[in-house]
Amino acid sequence: MKCHIIKTALALSLLALLAACGGGGGDTPTVIAPQPPTPQPAPEITLSAPAELVLAAGKPVTVDAKLSIPGAISWTLNPAIGTLSGNGNSAVYTPPATLAEKIRVTVLATSGSSAKSVNIMVYPNPGTPGISLVAGSGAGKVVVDGQGTDARLRNVSAMVADDQGNVYVNDANVLRQVTPAGAVRTIKEFTLQTSDGSTTGYFPQLQGIAYADGKLYAATAWRGTLSIQRVDSKGGVSKVIELPARKAAPGGMLADTGGQFYLRYENDIVRVAADGKVTVLAGREGASDGVDGAGETARFRALRDFALDQDSNLYVLDSASVRKITPGGQVNIVAGTLGAGNGAAVNGDGAAARFGNPQSFAFDTLGKLLILDRSGATPTAFAIRTLTAEGKVSTLLKGSDPAAGSASSVLRVGSGGAVFIGAGGRIDSVKAGGIGALAGMEDSSATSVDGVGSAARFERPAFLAADGAGNLYVTDMLSRNSGPDKVTTHLVLRKITPNGTVSTVVNQSVGTPSGIMADSAGNIYVATYAPGRTDSKPPYSGALYRVTPAGVLELVAGQPVAAPELRDGPGLQARFNQPYLDAIDAENNLYVQDKDPASGKTVWRKISPNGVVSTLDQWHGVQMKAPDGLVYKYNLVGQIVRVNADGSNTELTNHGLGATEAGPLPGRLSPVGHRPVPYGPYALAVIAGSAIYKVVLPH
């Protein structure tokens, strides 16, 4: 039985095996379907964006990709501005050569079914580091070397001519040379400077310049000592004579070929011999009168100028008369009459002649005195009049000061008979056709003028902001829009496009502007306060206005109403006292510095984008950062300083001592305002004088 069971099992197993192998019959074989392959996971792509700012015509930047699993990557650029070169897991983006405005390009990495993109902001290239004019006039009373009207003079108070046709000037404590062709260069600034360029004090005061026998001299006063020094062409000085300084400074200095010096004070003339001996040639210190006589018995009323003739006689301009002092000290009137000035000029002989308001004189090559005489009746009019050795006075020519210029006040004659006239921030020369500009250019911004670049004019630009499209906005304080106490009562907002075109956007009576900011949508916000009154007693509260991109002026918060107070709240329910618009953050919240009218203490306030005003417990802490993520500011002497990531400071421009000079960095800059304004990558906009400048930073 057991054996039968085993045989039966073996038979059944054999039949099953044959069926599996397709044998054992004619039926169709059974097919087993293969299993599908296991799907591969989609790769994860990680991209690294360039950390540095990308500039047109700048260096290429690399975008790196990492895949979670091995695979190939393809790269695309959209829009196709610039070029993209992909190589495996990296792609190199090369910016375009030029850009009119900033753009955003997208670099897309694709691997299999996965894709990842990174945006790159590409900015117009700001250009070579330096200072350049954006709009307005760079004219003004400052110290800038240059050629002709490209040079700037601050305040010409004394001039002397050499035997080569050059003129040397005392320009607000700076000794400068003007060539016959009008080239101006600084010989020596009588200022003490530290190694970092900041001014720490002034010494000594330049009180007179003279030229004789091929040598240039300067009289300086410092700590009770008057020092006469020789100055070489490179600004080196060597002491000639020292003597005690008077309480009153001398009004001028002369030198003769014998090594003597003459110092002109208001009421006497002092002669300093070559050996240093000091004597009073004529007049008496502090004794004001008009008396002819010898030595100290003579009296002078108000000495204005003096000159030596070829015989060592000294001629002085005293009040409205010309008087002669002999080498022995005898004083006599040659022409005019003491005390008869500010009237009509009258030609004639000796005492019959009359001067209006004589300022300065010098001998010409023929031995005649040329006298710069101003009109008593017409403030801008003047004349050059001649005085012969016989005492005859006549008028050579007449002139008039520019409408926005200083009064002509100093006259000198150079070699060959060239006549030079100094007037504040300019030097004119007398030519065959009349009087023309030689060097310097004074402020030409007496009024506001729309235009392009240097053709535009700003009267008193005060606050500056930049929007994201490369436009600048400036508040201009116009004198014609001032109230009875000369405080500006109008908001005059001017726009400067990227190509330098200046237009007036708003001119409305909403108060004195006190700060300006731009938000990310292109709106301009302006704080104002106290229309028609001074800071000390404002009768109206301040307000915050918005100027839309279309130029519409809207009241956002506060109201210009009586009884200023601090009141938080929404929009027009809030109140300000004297708000100064200080900052804007990335969420377009505005921050103002205000003053509590009750306590006089400073408070900080926040205005949300929808106009809700709230008072903060402390300073807002918002830093106005440039596109490079750093903060730029002015130091105490007006240098632009970069605050580095580690907190250290880097000075980028030199102090200007009142001047702004276009050209390579560090240049010279005398900015106006609270801080420089970021103006695109590696560029700042600043107000300086009556103009707007662009400062391109190292990059």
Q: Is the pLDDT of residue 486 over 80?
A: no
254-263, 522-531, 574-583, range with the lowest pLDDT: 522-531
Q: What is the pLDDT of residue 262?
A: 97
For residue 484, what are the domain limits? Answer: 466-616
Number of domains in the chain: 2
Residues in the chain: 699
Whether 272 maps to a domain, the answer reads: no
Decide if 573 contacts 566 (C-beta within 8 A). no
Q: Is the Cβ–Cβ distance between 546 and 518 less than 8 Å?
A: no
| 8 A C-beta contact, residue 458 and residue 494 | yes
pLDDT, residue 487, reads: 53
pLDDT tens digits, one per residue of 343-390: 788 999 999 999 999 999 999 999 999 999 998 778 889 999 999 999
pLDDT tens profile 300-352:
999 999 999 999 999 999 989 999 999 999 999 999 988 766 678 899 999 99
pLDDT tens digits, one per residue of 41-63:
788 999 998 888 899 999 999 99
In a domain, 606, yes or no: yes
CA atoms within a 13 Å half-sphere pointing along the CA-CB vector of 667: 26
At residue 89, the pLDDT reads 93
DSSP assignments along 477-501, one per residue: --GGGB-TTS-B-SEEEEEE-TT-E
Domain endpoint, select from 123, 146, 168: 123
CA–CA separation, 293 and 281 (whole Å)? 11
Q: What are phi and psi of 573, to 5 degrees?
A: -80, -20
Give pLDDT tens digits for 635-661: 988 899 999 999 999 999 987 666 787
Domain-terminating residue out of 616, 646, 677:
616
pLDDT in tens, 387-399: 999 999 999 999 9
Tell which wins on pLDDT, 189 or 677. Answer: 677
Tens-digit pLDDT profile for residues 172-206: 889 999 999 999 999 998 764 444 444 444 457 89
Strands 54-55 and 114-123: parallel
Mean pLDDT of the 208-217 span: 96
CB atoms within 10 A of CB 501: 16
> Mean pLDDT over residues 79-92, rounded?
94
For residue 295, give Cα distances in angstroms to 277, 323, 337, 351, 553. 16, 14, 20, 22, 73
pLDDT recorded at residue 444: 67
In-domain check, residue 74: yes
Region of 389 (left: φ > 0; alpha: ψ -120 to 50; beta: rest) is alpha
pLDDT beyond 60 at 670: yes
Q: Peptide bond before 126: cis, by omega within 30 degrees of 0?
A: no
How many secondary structure helices (H) and strands (E) does the chain include? 1, 59
**What pLDDT, on the 0 to 100 scale, is given for residue 256?**
95
In a domain, 642, yes or no: no
Residue 10, pLDDT > 50, answer no
Residue 472 near residue 494, CB atoms below 8 Å: no
| Segment 275-290, tens digit of pLDDT | 999 999 999 998 888 8
| 157 located within any domain | no
Please state the separation of Cα 678 from the chain's center in Å. 15
Would you state the pLDDT for residue 376?
73
Strand partners, 431: 434
pLDDT of residue 621: 87
pLDDT band for position 669 (cuts 50, 70, 90): confident
- Please report the pLDDT score of residue 477 as a whole number: 84
Share of the chain above pLDDT 70, in %: 87
Residue showing tokens 């004088």: 689
Per-residue pLDDT for 2 more than 60? no
> Which pLDDT score is estimated for 20?
45
* Residue 344 falls inside a structural domain: no
Distance CA 113, CA 94 (A): 27
- Give the per-residue pLDDT at 5: 42
pLDDT at 254 over 60: yes
Query: Domain containing 117 — which CATH number?
Result: 2.60.40.10
Residue 570, domain member (yes or no): yes
**Residue after which a domain boundary falls, among 554, 582, 616:** 616
For the beta sheet containing 357-363, the strands, ordered from the edge strand earlier in sequence to the opposite edge, are 348-349, 392-400, 381-387, 369-374, 357-363
Predicted TM-score (pTM) of this structure: 0.70
Residue 324 near residue 317, CB atoms below 8 Å: no
Average of per-residue pLDDT across 250-278: 95
> What are the strands, taking DSSP E only, across 268-354?
268-272, 278-283, 293-294, 303-308, 314-318, 321-325, 330-336, 348-349
pLDDT of residue 404: 67
The separation between the first and the last C-alpha atoms of the chain, rounded to the nearest angstrom, is 105
Tell me the CATH number at 475.
2.120.10.30
- Residue 303 domain flag: no
Looking at the chain, the whole-number percentage of residues with pLDDT higher than 90 is 62
Confidence of residue 432 (pLDDT cuts 50, 70, 90): confident
Helix (H, G, I), strand (E, B) or coil at 16: helix
